[in-house]
Amino acid sequence: MSSHPQATPLGSPRPLGVGILGAGPVTQAIHLPSLARLRNILEVRHIMDVDSAVAESVAARVGANYSTSMDALLGDPDVDIVAICSPHQFHADQVIAACRAGKKAVLCEKPFAMSGEEAARISAVSEETSVPIIVGAMHTFDPGWLAAEANWGDLSENVHTIRSSIVLPPNARFEDFATEIITRPAGGTPDYSDVEVIKNALRGGIMGLAIHDLPLVRRFTPDFEDLEVLQARHVRPFGYVISLRSGNRIIELRAAMNKTWKPEWVFEAISDDAALRVDFTPSYVQAGSAVATITRGTTSTTYGPYEHNGYEGEWRELAQLALRTKQPPSAESLINDLTFAIAIADATVDVAAAEHANSHAGARS
């Protein structure tokens, strides 16, 4: 397994070592380009993938060691920070193993986990080991969003409408802009008359795409016990239209993936006398931060664009956490974000399944 030089410029501290579990499109097109801009503080030292050809080839791009075993990466003393970029079903166990290995900080790609049971296991290990964990919900690290959060005042208490609207071309187009992808699964044509297909598509849409913005939504609905789905529709080939109510707050989640030439990713929060609009750059795109506008009466203030985006923000934060120069986010808050997403996914799937059954019963009668 190839080794790489560890030299650093004379007098400067050695960069923190990064190890990545899973070297698919997200590692190739998102994290490696972000890390390439942060070479003075972070250095990729170990790439692990269950596919050895992928591990070897991606590691060679950055001069890192490679392996096909999680234990080899976690046992590598040159790795200080672990990023978990494997498929979602492995996240919980890998986060737990990285914490138990005593690493300095852990980044887990979204979704953090897929069930309340997994969330509880992560929570217990996080408390036991005190290893800082962040979840790759990149919008929460975007300087445009952070500037809005510092300036929205009482909007979070008085908000009545919260919207996340996403119009994107398929991920593959962005992946191809960013790098030459060497892994991509083949697709198929789904059978939309099968309720399980609809349920899986909606759950996938929420846990895979809406989940980027659900932590933002939760900033405006910290208490979500009374969450109710008013409407839930799958949009073909990939998208959703979901309306929810939590107390007196209406939450609208919309997404459509198509061949659009003009991607749009907007988050809005509106009260009687103030409105926030955040225009994010699409996933995979490394083109600076979101632009946020807060309007009160006739006065609008715009924040951004700033130089870096949320992906780079995640890595900057990880470096600070590993050096203990910043307080980690509470594991409880990450778990509440996950519980919120799972609650929305469960309730949405139930409503969509009931509508599907009704429409089929109607068609038969």
Ligand X SMILES: NC(=O)c1ccc[n+]([C@@H]2O[C@H](COP(=O)([O-])OP(=O)(O)OC[C@H]3O[C@@H](n4cnc5c(N)ncnc54)[C@H](O)[C@@H]3O)[C@@H](O)[C@H]2O)c1
Q: Which residues bind ligand X (CB under 6 A)?
A: 21-26, 30, 48-51, 54, 85-88, 90, 109-110, 136, 138, 183, 208, 283
Residue placing its CB nearer to ligand X in the complex, 49 or 76 = 49
Q: Which is nearer to ligand X, 51 or 78 (CB)?
A: 51
CA-based Rg of the chain, rounded to a whole angstrom? 21
Strands ordered across the beta sheet of 299-303: 228-234, 238-246, 249-257, 161-168, 264-270, 274-279, 291-296, 299-303
Token reading at 260: 């659009």
Q: Of 21 and 146, which CB lies nearer to ligand X in the complex structure?
A: 21
* Least Cβ distance, residue 254 to ligand X (angstroms): 18
Q: Closest distance between ligand X and the C-beta of residue 182, in Å?
A: 9
Q: How far is CA 253 from CA 35, 269, 313, 334, in A?
A: 31, 12, 25, 20
User: CA 55 to CA 220: how far, in whole Å?
Assistant: 41
Residue closer to ligand X by CB (options 25, 132) is 25
Separation CA 345–CA 209 (nearest Å): 12
Nearer to ligand X, 218 or 249 (CB): 218
State the nearest-atom distance from the C-beta of 279 to ligand X, in Å.
Answer: 16
Closest-by-Cβ residue to ligand X is 24
What is the nearest approach in angstroms of ligand X to the Cβ of residue 103?
16
Question: 279 pairs with which residues across the strands?
Answer: 266, 291
Amino acid identity at 53 = A
Nearer to ligand X, 13 or 75 (CB): 75
Residues forming beta bridges with residue 252, ordered by sequence position:
163, 243
CB of 93 to ligand X, least distance (A): 8
Write down the least CB distance from residue 4 to ligand X, Å. Answer: 21
